[in-house]
Chains A and B, each alone.
Chain A
């Protein structure tokens, strides 16, 4: 077995470098003008909704109800979903503060249903 970990470290550094690169691209990609809730279904934009205006958005696929997204004054959350793992429902309320804290926190993802909810914050000073 190899005792020198130089190459192992090099691999780790390469992966971390890629992570940093994706992080930067992500920041550049996710800019918008005002606070909006974007819902994507199957890789396509399903709709854009103003943040803070209370409403229920029911999502269906081929006539079959999949899930319900709820927007209220404080944030947006997955009210219910037919998916098996319920990760989307348990991820809870997505607030402005949460979305501001990091790029990754600005998403609610339901992989089984291919539904993603994004809180896009307007340019902050």
Chain B
């Protein structure tokens, strides 16, 4: 009973953190010529959940973030984009985690890559494939970079946390 309470509290804090991080990102757009490119800092929270807690909690965290963000800040159509991106991304990260040779940075890049792919798949239903195709190379390259950056941040955070725990 007590344990489930602490887990719920933990998950709540992580959800809030993920929401705050994506809101901060929304306020400070990256200085790139293409609109809509984000660093995806909230992915570090997701990586933390996946590596320190469990698959179930990571999936729950993603769903909570997408739903709350959708209802509070954005519209239904953008919720559809983030849901498909988030679902594919978390699936890829869970899968990638099982491979021995892939570190948290590789897991993060896989997640960022599938996030782009998920969003572009939804985009194909709404806008012309020609536009999607024009944006895809840039989005893929940026997913490589942002995935690596958030992965390295998550790695540093986990490193410090596990260091403190063992002391």
- Could you mark each residue 77-117 of chain B with 1 if its beta carbon is under 8 Å from any beta carbon of chain A, else 0? 11001000000000000001001111111100110010000
Size bracket, chain A contacts? 35 or more
- The CA of A84 and the CA of B35, in the complex, are separated in Å by 14
Residues A87 and B35 in contact in the complex (CB < 8 Å), given A20-B137, A40-B128, A116-B127: yes
Residues B75 and A11 in contact, CB atoms below 8 Å apart: no
A-B contact count (CB 8 A): 119
Residues A11 and B102 in contact, CB atoms below 8 Å apart: yes
Residues B148 and A12 in contact, CB atoms below 8 Å apart: yes
Give the residues in chain B near A15, CB-CB below 8 Å. 109, 113, 140-141, 143-144
Residues A23 and B101 in contact, CB atoms below 8 Å apart: no
- The CA of A57 and the CA of B147, in the complex, are separated in Å by 40
Give the residues in chain B near A111, CB-CB below 8 Å. 36, 77-78, 81, 123, 126-127
Residues A11 and B136 in contact, CB atoms below 8 Å apart: no
Residues A30 and B134 in contact in the complex (CB < 8 Å), given A1-B103, A6-B101: yes
Secondary structure call for the B interface: helix
- Shortest CB-to-CB span from B67 to chain A, Å, is 18
Closest to A105 in B: B33
Give the residues in chain A near B75, CB-CB below 8 Å. 84, 112
- The CA of A6 and the CA of B106, in the complex, are separated in Å by 9
Residues B102 and A16 in contact, CB atoms below 8 Å apart: no
Given known contacts A6-B101, A43-B127, what 5 new A-B pairs fall within 8 Å (CB)? A1-B155, A19-B140, A30-B130, A105-B33, A118-B128
Closest 8 CB pairs of A and B: A8-B106, A7-B101, A19-B140, A23-B137, A114-B126, A2-B103, A19-B137, A22-B136
9 pairs, CB–CB < 8 Å, chain A vs chain B: A7-B101, A12-B109, A15-B140, A15-B144, A16-B144, A22-B137, A29-B133, A40-B128, A109-B35
Which of B's residues lie within 8 Å of A, judged by CB?
33-36, 74-75, 77-78, 81, 96, 99-106, 109-110, 113, 123-128, 130-131, 133-138, 140-141, 143-144, 148, 155, 159
